[in-house]
Amino acid sequence: MPLVRIDLARGKSVAQRQTIGDVIYNAMIATINVPKDDRFQIITEHAPDDLIVDKTYLGIQRTADCVLIQITLNEGRTVEQKQTFYKAIVDGLHERLGMRREDVFINLVEVRKENWSFGNGEAQYVT
């Protein structure tokens, strides 16, 4: 059910982009109870002038390699689950790609279950 949008600076390899997607997908399964095979991701690269990220907001030092991750998902997770999820993503990206933790921006957009159609013009989660 999550729809993941990953925005990053142009120039990452296919392997790097795939690893970013893998880390997020694995973190969803491990921490926020997303079922296996529920993987819908859009990865978009941007020219440097088209990705505007404040370098120091909230005292966090970001670089031009900042990755923006926005995930639309069903509402209902606890704050603790979300914090565990954020940490799993950041730790995974740092361990697998050497990404700076400061360069991972995550935003969750929570919606009700009736706001999804996975095909056939049906709202599969509506009972």
Q: Say which amino acid occupies 89.
A: I
Q: What are the Cα distances from residue 114, in Å, to 34, 74, 110, 125?
A: 17, 9, 12, 6
2 catalytic residue (yes or no): yes
Residue 10, judged by CB atoms within 10 A of its CB (0-12, 13-18, 19+), counts as exposed
φ, ψ of residue 125 to 5 degrees: the values are: -85, -5
> Look-up: residue for tokens 């859009």?
42
3-state secondary structure of 118: coil
Which residue out of 1, 2, 25, 112 is catalytically annotated?
2
Q: Are 7 and 51 in contact (CB under 8 A)?
A: yes
Residues designated as active site: 2
